[in-house]
Structure 1
Amino acid sequence: MTRQLSTSFSGALRTFAYFMASGTHYALEGVDYLPLYGNEPSAIEMTFAIYVNVIKLDENGNVLNAKYAERRAAEYLKEYCIPGYKAYPAFEEWETTLHAPPSLKDQI
């Protein structure tokens, strides 16, 4: 059985991506992170990894904690960009895990 991502998750991810790419996310006001795009892609990769690792969905695919997931991802960028800044609480390993991409046969 194949399933698509829920419209709730799709909308949450789209909104997060817009705020991140436009430099308008409220939790990153004053943080100069836009130059990372194209220059330090691993920082952006980790930001999105944290977002999707933290976000929770109910049994129907409805997002339960979009703003919390955004905040955790923003905390990572603050740590990355602001010397001496520490996220609270500190990141746990499961939040920062970079999961493997699909196998090549699944990408076709």
Structure 2
Amino acid sequence: MLDGINYWDELKNSPSQMELCFAIFANVLEFDDEGEPLNEKYAERRAALWLYKYCKGELPPGEVDL
């Protein structure tokens, strides 16, 4: 999803935006009773969708708005 998007250039001078991206990942991530992640890929995707929208100004085609 983020292939071809130079998101580092977009975020390197915006630490609060980096923090927001991490917060999205951390808030979506769920763990089982042993502390193992249950939905790591989903949390990754949610953070990537936010990053895509931040860099492109819109979501990828077919994606539901966050």
Query: TM-score surpassing 0.5?
Result: yes
RMSD: 1.4
Aligned twin of 1:71: 45
Aligned twin of 2:36: 62
Work out whether residues 51 and 73 of structure 1, in 8 Å CA contact, stay in contact via their aligned partners in 2: yes
Aligned twin of 2:2: 28
The equivalent position to 1:50 in structure 2, one of 24, 33, 40, is 24
SS in 2 for 1:29: coil
The alignment-based identity, stated in percent, is 44
Per the normalisation by structure 2, the TM-score is: 0.83
* Separation in 2, partners of 1:61, 1:89: 30
Question: Once the 2 structures are TM-superposed, how far is the Cα of residue 81 of structure 1 from its aligned partner?
Answer: 0.4
Aligned twin of 2:59: 86
> What's the CA shift string for 1:48-93, capped at 9, x where partnerless?
000000001011111111111001001001110003x1373332xx
> Which consecutive unaligned segments of at least 5 residues does structure 2 have?
none
* Separation in 2, partners of 1:50, 1:89: 16
Moved >6 Å (runs of 4+):
none
Per the normalisation by structure 1, the TM-score is: 0.53
Q: Which amino acid aligns with 2:17?
A: A
